[in-house]
Structure 1
Amino acid sequence: MNKAILVYASMSGNTELMATYIAEGVKEKGVQLDVKECFEIGPEELVSYDGIIIGSYTWGEGELPDELLDFYDEMEHLDFRYKKSAVFGSGSTLYSNYGGAVDLLAEKLKARGAEVIADPLKVELTPNEEDELICKEFGRQFAEKLIAS
Structure 2
Amino acid sequence: MAHFVIVYASITGNTEAMAKAIAEGIKQNGYQVDQIIAYDAHASDLNQCDGVLIGTYTWGTGELPDEMLDFYDELQVVDLSGKKAAVFGSYDSLYGDDGIAVDIMIEALTKQGADVIADGYKIELTPNAEQLEACAAFGRWFSDQVAQK
Same fold, judged at TM 0.5 (above): yes
Q: TM-score, normalization: structure 1?
A: 0.96
Q: Secondary structure at the match of 1:78?
A: coil
Matches within 5 A, 1:40-119: 40-119=40-119
SS in 1 for 2:96: coil
Identity %: 50
Aligned partner of residue 39 in structure 2, secondary structure: helix
In the aligned structure 1, how far is the partner of 2:19 from the partner of 2:136? Answer: 9
What are the superposed Cα offsets for residues 73-115 of structure 1, whole Å, 9 maximum, x if unpaired?
1110110012110100000122333100001001100110000
Equivalent AA in structure 1 for residue 22 of structure 2? I
TM-score, L = length of structure 2: 0.96
Structure 1, unaligned runs of 5 or more: none
Q: Residues 91 and 97 of structure 2 are in contact (CA less than 8 Å); yes or no, is this contact kept in structure 1?
A: no
Equivalent residue, structure 2, for 1:139 = 139
Q: Structure 1, residues 114-135: CA drift from partner, whole Å, max 9, x if none?
A: 0011221100100001211111
Letter in 1 for 2:76: E
Which amino acid counterpart does residue 37 of structure 2 have in structure 1? E
Q: Which whole-Å CA distance do the structure 2 matches of 1:17 and 1:71 have between them?
A: 20
Q: Counterparts of 2:119 and 2:28 in 1: how far apart (Å)? A: 20
Aligned CA RMSD, in angstroms, stands at 0.9
- Could you tell me which runs of 5 or more consecutive residues in structure 2 were left unpaired when the two chains were aligned: none
Q: Report the Cα distance in structure 1 between the residues aligned to 2:82 and 2:111, rounded to whole angstroms.
A: 13
User: How many angstroms apart in 2 are the aligned matches of 1:88 and 1:3?
Assistant: 18
